[in-house]
Amino acid sequence: MTGSNPPTVTAVPETPETPETPEATTTDPRRRAVSRLATLFDRPWPAITAAFVVSLGIGLLLVVLTGGGVAETVDVAARATVGSQQGLIDTLVYTTPRLLVAIGVIVALRAGQFNLGAEGQLQLGAIGAALGGAFLAPSLPGPLALPVAVAMAMVCGALWAGIAALMKVLRGCDELISTLLLNFVAVYLVQLLVQGAMKDPDSTFNQSRRVIADAELPRFGFTRLHYGFTIALVCVLLVWLLLERTSLGLRFRSIGHNAVASRYQQLDVGVLTVLAMLISGAICAVAGAGETLGVQFRLIQGFSSGFGFEGLAIAFLAALRPGRALVIALVFGGIFSAATRLQQEVGVTASLAYVVEGLPIVLLACAAGLQALRVKRRGLA
Amino acid sequence: MQRDSGEGAAVLSLRGISRSFGTTRAVQEVDLDVAAGTVHALLGENGAGKSTLMNVVYGVHPADAGWISVDGRDVRITSPRQALGLGIAMVHQHHQLIPSLTVAESVTLAAAHTGWRYDKRHAAGHVQRLADRLGITIDAEARVSDLSLGDRQRLEILSAIDRDSRVVILDEPTAVLAPTEIEPLFRLLRKLAADGRAVVLITHRMREVFAASDAISVMRKGRLVDTLETARTTPDEVLGLVIPARREASAGATVLTGVVPGGTTTGAVPLPEQPTSRSSEPALEVDGLVVPPAPGTTGLDRLTFEAFPGEILGIVGVEGNGQHELVEVLAGIRVPAAGSVRACGQPQRPGTLAPCTAIVPEDRHREALVLDLSIEDNLVLPVLGRYTRGGLLKKRAVRQHAQRTISEFAVVAGSSAAPTRSLSGGNQQKLVLARALDQSPRVLVASQATRGLDPGATAELLDRLRQVAAQGTCVVYLGSDLDEVVEVSDRVAVMYGGAVVGQSTDPDAERDTLAALMVGGGG
Amino acid sequence: MHSLVEAFFWASAVGLAAPILLAALGETFAQRAGVFTIGIEGLMLSGAFAAAAVSVSSGSLVVGFVAAAAITAALGGMYGAAVVLCRADQVVVGIGFNLVVLGATSLLRRQLFPTGMTVPDTSLVDRRAIPLLSDIPWLGRVLFDQNLLVYALYVLTPIAVYVLFRTRTGLLVRAAGDGAEAASAKGIRVLRVRMWVMVLNGTLAGAAGAALVLINSGGVFVDNLVDGRGYLVLALTMFARWHPAWVAVGAVLFGAADALQFVAQASFGGDVPTAVFLMAPYLLALTAWVVMGRRSNAPTDLGRPLLA
C-alpha cells in the first residue's frame, strides 16, 4: 500500500460482501430444480379453480363452435360426472390410472428426477400384468394370481424406469429426454408383443390371451369400477407417508432440492436417484396393471390414451403433493368422463379433454413464473 | 496525483433516491454528486446499501423514489441497457461475463454499435489496441472461463471503456484480487479519472479509500451519512462515520472487536499454549493431495499440511487456488488423483468423509443447506440413522433436537419447521456450525465461513471457533481475507497454486510476507 | 445386409432426415438461447395439421406450407410469451402445450374434416434430380436426386452455422443462453433475443410438421401424426452438442433408422415385425446418448427463465 495509509492496518469489517438484496444468490446449481415445481405450483385453491374455470369455458366454447348447445353440453357433462351413479362410477374408473401415474411421478419429481416416462412405465406395467395374469397365473394357486400379476407389473415398470435412472447416474444422460424416448420404445414393444410372442393364437386381433379370472381385479358390485381405485387410494397414503414421515422420503426431498448440499451431508445421490426412479416406475406400472387386470383383461395396443402425460399434469397442478393429487385426479377423471359422454351424445371428439386438461397448467405456470419474477425483483421472501 | 475534487462538474447527481426490498429499506433518500475526473469512494459496512444504491443507478434495481440526473439532464433508468446508453457502466463484484465466450467476443457483445458480421481478427485487434492504450495485458483470443478473476475484472473495465462510458462504477473490485494486484488496479482507476471520467469505487476497506479516492461518501443503514474530501480528512474521522461505536476502540485492532457487545477482543482470547498442541499427535494430516486443475482453479498440487488439536490453523489464499477442492476431498465428494488424508489417526477412505471430521462448506446456499427444507430436517440430515425407527422418522425427537439447537446457538427463527431459506445469513451459518459440532468432531474444517455475514455475526462466529479450539478440537479455517485469517488463527498457512507455499506461527508480524506468498511471491 | 450400402437406402435416409433436421435447426437456436422447447412436438403437430387443413381447403400445397409456417410462427411466439416473458417453467409449459395441441388438432380434424384429410397433390416433395450432379455414382443418387426440402437444407444448414458462430446475431443468441443475467447486465435484450428465436423455432417446426405430412405420411393427416418425432428432435439437438453441422449428421442417422423399414425385406428377410423398425429411431437415440455420455458444453442457462 502507499504512504497515504495510516501506520496501522485499519479496516471496516473484513467480509467479502454478498449482494445486499435478499434472495439475490442463485441457490440451486441444477439447471432445472425439479422440486422447485412444488413451490411453483403451490397456488391457492382460488387460483387453481380460476384456471380450470377459464379452461372449461374454452372447452365449452369449442363444443359450441363445433355445433353443440350450451344447455345440452352442461347437462351431459353433469350426468357424466356427479349427476348420476353411472357418471360417478365412470369418473372414478377414469380417475384410477391418472391418479396412480400422478402419484408415481410425484415420487420421482420430489427426488428431483424429471420422470416424463410414466407412459412407458405403465405400458411395461401392462405387459408385466398380462404376463403374470395370462401366462404365469394359470400355474399358480388361485389367491396368488392377482398379487403375482401386480408384482410382475411393478417389477417391469421399475426396471423400465431404472434404465433411465442408470443412464443418468452412470452416463449423465438427462432423464428428461431418455424417459421421453423410452415411452415410444415401450409403446412399440407392446405392439411387438401383441403381434408376436404374446399374441392370442385364437384371435384375429392383435391382442394377448385373456388374463385368468383369478388374476382379475375384483369390482365394486356390478359396476365397472375395479379395486384398482382402492389400490390408488392406498398408494396416495403410502406415498404421503414415504415423503413426509420416513427418513428415505427426507433423503429424496433433500436430493430433490439440492443435490450438492445433500452430498456434503453424506447422502448417496446416485443410489437415491435410482431408488426414487424405481419406486416411481413401479407405481406408474400399477396404473398399467389396473387397465390390464381391471378394464381390458388382456394386453392390447393403445389401451392408454396418454395417461402418462395427464398424470404429469395432475402432479404439477397438485404441487407434487399426494393429497392434492387425489383431488385434481378426480377433476381430470370427471373431465375425461364428460368428454367421452359428449362424444357419444353430442358428437364432439373426446380429445377435447386434453385441451381442457392442458390449459390450466400452462396458465398456472405463467402465473407462477410472473410471481417468481415479482419476488425476485422486489426481494420479497 | 492529488486533484481538487471540486474541479469537475457533477456528471452524476442523485436526489432523494430510495429503494426497498420487501420490508427492508435498503436505500433511503440518498443525495449524491459524483464529479467528472475523480475517483469517488462509496464506503460502508456490509448491508449499508452501497451496492444497492449503485444498482439503482445502473438500472438493476430501479429506484422507488428520487431523481437521477446525468450531466444535468434528468433521466429515468430502469434497465442496465438504459444506463449503458447514458454512459454509465458497472463492474459487478460477481462478474457479469459469459464464460464460454472469448475476450474479444465479450467486448464485441457489450459494444453498442458493431456490424452484423462478427470478424474474429478485427475484433481481436480492436481489443488489443484498447488494452494497449490502458496498459493492460490481456489475450483477446482467450476464453473467459480460462481467465483469472483479476483478468476478468480488467476485461470488464475494458468493455466499459470500449463503450466510452463516462461513469464507471466498480463494486468491491479488490475482493477477488491478490494484494499485489490491487495497486495496479488503483493506477488504472486514476488513469480513467485523468481521462475525465467519473469513477465510483464501492468498498468497505478503509485503506483502499485513502489509497485511491478523491472523495469519500459514507453510507450507513441505507443512508448517506456524509461526503468528505479525501485530502482533508483522516481515517479516524471516516471510521467514526462508518461505525460510530468504533470511535473509542483502540487504533490498530480491527473494527470487529468494537461492535460486539460483550465480545472478547482479539488480544484477550485465551489461546491454547502452542507448545502443548505441538507436542501432541496431529489431528489432521494431509499428505500429497493431487487434483488436476480445471478452468478457474489450480486444483491441488501435492498439498501437504498438518493441523493439531486445540489450534486454529488458518489457510489463506486467493480464491481458486485449490481451497474448494481441498474441502471437497475432505468431505468425500471428490476422490483425489493421488495423496492421502488421515484424521484423528485413522486414514480417510477416498470418497467418504474424513474420520471424526465435520465440514462447514464455503457456500451456505449451495453446499451447506437445503434451503427449502425446514430447520429440523436440515439438522438431522447427517445423522438420520439416529432419528429413524423402522424407516419412520422420529418426528418428536427431531423437533426437540432442533429446538435445543436453536436455543443453544441463539438462532433467530420463527419455528423449527420453518424453511432455512427464511433465515438470515448469520442464523443460517449458526445452524450449519451447530450441525457440524453436533457430531462432536475432533477436526472442524470451515471454509469462507464469514462470507456475507454482518460484523456482529462474523465476530460471533469467530468467537465460537475460538471456543471450539479451546476445547481441544482442531479447527482448520480457510479464508481469502488475509486480515481476518490472521486475526482468528494461531498459525497461518498460505495456499497458492494448490499447495502450501509457506506458513507462519506469528502471522501478525509476518503479514506482509504472507501477502506476498498469496500471489506466489517469494518469502 | 447388402442393401444397407445401396444408394436407395441412403437416399431414403436423407429424405426422411429432412423434416427432423429442419426442426432441429430451429431447436438448436432455441436451446442455444436458453429455451428448452419440449413443446416442439406440439409445434410440429400444429404445423402438420395447419398444412394439411389449408392445403385441403385451398387446394394449393404451397399456400398450405406457407400458412403452416405462419401459424406456427405465431404459436412459437405465444409459447415464447409463456416461457420467456411470463418466465413459466419450460418443461411444464411444454407438457401442457403438447396436450392442448394433441387435443385441439384431433378435435378439429374430426369436426372440420370428418371424411379425412388428404392433401390434394404432393408433387411439391417429388424427387427432382439435379442435372450432372445426380450422375455422380452412388453419391449423386443419395444427395442430388432429392426433394426441394433437402436442397433447401443444403443451404440452410451452412447458413445456420455461419449465423451462430460468425455474426453478432449468433453472438447474441449464444450469450442469451450461456449467461442470460450477465448479458442482460451488459445491456443485451435477452428477452427479445429469446422471443425472436422462439418465432424462428416455431416457423421451422411448423414447416417440418408440414413436411412430415408430405414425406412420411404420404399427404394424409392422422391424429398425433408427429408421434414423438419432436422428442427425437430434442434428443438430436442435445447430443449433437448444439452444433448445426452435427445436428445434420445425426438427422441422417435417424433418417437411416427410419429407412430401415423400406429395405427390411431385402436385408433381414421378411419376418422382422414392423414394430422393431418403428422403434429403431428411438433406440438409436438412446444408444447414441449412452455412447456420447455427459454433455459438457450445454448452454449454462438452458431451461432457465431470466429472472431479472
Flag whether pLDDT at B7 surpasses 80: no
| A235 residue type, one letter | C
SS3 at position A300: strand
Out of C111, C295, C305, closest to residue A369 by CB: C305
Query: pLDDT tens digits for C11-42?
Result: 999 999 999 999 999 999 999 999 999 999 99
Number of domains within chain B: 4
Q: Is residue A274 part of a domain?
A: yes
Q: Is residue A332 part of a domain?
A: no
Distance from CA of A24 to the nearest CA of C (A): 10
Q: Which residues of B touch A17 (CB under 8 A)?
A: 46, 51, 93, 172, 175, 204, 452
Nearest 5°: the CA angle B235, B241, B243 is 100
- Eight-state DSSP code of residue B264: P
Q: Which residues of A touch B484 (CB under 8 A)?
A: 14-15
DSSP H or E run through C146:
strand C145-146
SS3 at position B1: coil
Greatest mean pLDDT among A307-311, A329-333, A369-373, B94-98: A329-333
Burial degree of B248 (CB within 10 A; 0-12, 13-18, 19+) = exposed
Distance from CA of A246 to the nearest CA of B (A): 4
Average pLDDT in the A218-234 region? 89
Average pLDDT in the C210-223 region? 89
Residue B237 is predicted with a pLDDT of 86
CB contact under 8 A, B99 and C300: yes
Q: Which three cell numbers stand for residue A105?
A: 411421478
Percent of chain B with pLDDT over 90: 49
Would an 8 Å CB–CB cutoff place B80 in contact with chain C? yes
Q: In chain C, where are the structural domains located?
A: 2-117+136-292
Query: pLDDT tens digits for C111-169?
Result: 888 888 888 877 777 888 888 888 888 888 888 988 889 999 999 999 999 999 999 99
Residue B113 is predicted with a pLDDT of 66
Average pLDDT over all residues of chain B = 85
Q: Half-sphere exposure of residue C147, counting CA atoms within 13 Å on the CB side?
A: 19
Q: Is residue A171 part of a domain?
A: yes
Domain finish residue from B439, B472, B488: B439
DSSP H or E run through B322:
none
Statement to judge: residues B79 and B205 lie in one domain: yes
Domain finish residue from B418, B439, B460: B439
Q: Which residues of A touch C97 (CB under 8 A)?
A: 358, 362
Q: Which residues of A touch C110 (CB under 8 A)?
A: 349, 351
Out of A176, A188, A316, closest to residue C279 by CB: A188
pTM of this prediction? 0.88
What value of ipTM does the predicted structure carry?
0.89
Which CATH number goes with the domain that contains B209?
A: 3.40.50.300
CB contact under 8 A, A195 and C275: yes
Statement to judge: residues B322 and B468 lie in one domain: yes
**B5-9, B93-97, B461-465: least confidently modelled range:** B5-9
Out of A31, A360, A368, closest to residue C304 by CB: A31
CB contact under 8 A, A365 and C104: no
Q: How far apart are CA B145 and CA B122, in angstroms?
A: 22
Q: Is residue B287 part of a domain?
A: yes
Statement to judge: residues B321 and B446 lie in one domain: yes
CB contact under 8 A, C182 and B96: yes
Q: Which of the two residues, A219 and B204, has the higher pLDDT score?
A: A219
Q: Is residue B272 part of a domain?
A: yes
Quick one: pLDDT band at residue B263, thresholds 50, 70, 90? very low
Statement to judge: residues B116 and B139 lie in one domain: yes
Distance from CA of B519 to the nearest CA of A (A): 15
Number of domains within chain A: 1
Q: Is the dihedral of CA C28, C31, C35, C41 positive or negative?
A: positive
Query: Which of these, B395, B380, B310, B382, lies nearest to B352 by C-alpha position?
Result: B382
CB contact under 8 A, B26 and A21: yes
Burial degree of B79 (CB within 10 A; 0-12, 13-18, 19+) = middle
Q: Is residue A157 part of a domain?
A: yes
**Domain of A115, in residue numbers:** 99-309
Would an 8 Å CB–CB cutoff place C185 in contact with chain B? yes
Q: Is residue B189 part of a domain?
A: no
Out of B81, B98, B117, closest to residue C179 by CB: B98
Query: pLDDT tens digits for A9-37?
Result: 333 333 333 333 333 223 333 345 565 67
**Domain of B172, in residue numbers:** 8-87+166-177+195-248
Q: Is residue B183 part of a domain?
A: no
Quick one: pLDDT band at residue C295, thresholds 50, 70, 90? low
Give residues with Cβ within 8 angstroms of C98, minimum separation 6. A309, A358, C38, C39, C41, C42, C45, C230
Query: pLDDT tens digits for A111-147?
Result: 999 999 999 999 999 999 999 999 988 888 888 899 9
Q: Is residue A44 part of a domain?
A: no
SS3 at position B196: coil
Would an 8 Å CB–CB cutoff place B105 in contact with chain C? yes
Q: Is residue B225 part of a domain?
A: yes
Distance from CA of A213 to the nearest CA of C (A): 30
Query: Which of these, B81, B127, C184, C35, lies nearest to B118 by C-alpha position?
Result: B127
Statement to judge: residues B277 and B387 lie in one domain: no
Flag whether pLDDT at B242 surpasses 80: no
Q: How far apart are CA C27 and CA C87, in angstroms?
A: 19
Chain A window 63-92: which residues touch B at a Cβ cutoff of 8 Å? none
CB contact under 8 A, A195 and C231: no
Out of C88, C228, C300, closest to residue A366 by CB: C88
Would an 8 Å CB–CB cutoff place C184 in contact with chain B? yes
Each as own residue / partner, the long-range contacts of residues C120-124 (CB below 8 Å, 24 or more positions apart, any chain) are: C120/C55, C120/C56, C120/C59, C120/C61, C121/C61, C121/C219, C122/C61, C122/C214, C122/C218, C122/C219, C123/C61, C124/C61, C124/C62, C124/C65, C124/C148, C124/C214
CB contact under 8 A, C181 and B96: yes
Distance from CA of B382 to the nearest CA of A (A): 5
| Among the four given CATH numbers 1.10.3470, 1.10.3860, 1.20.120, 1.20.1070, the one describing domain C2-117+136-292 | 1.10.3470
Statement to judge: residues B148 and B60 lie in one domain: no
Residue B180 is predicted with a pLDDT of 76
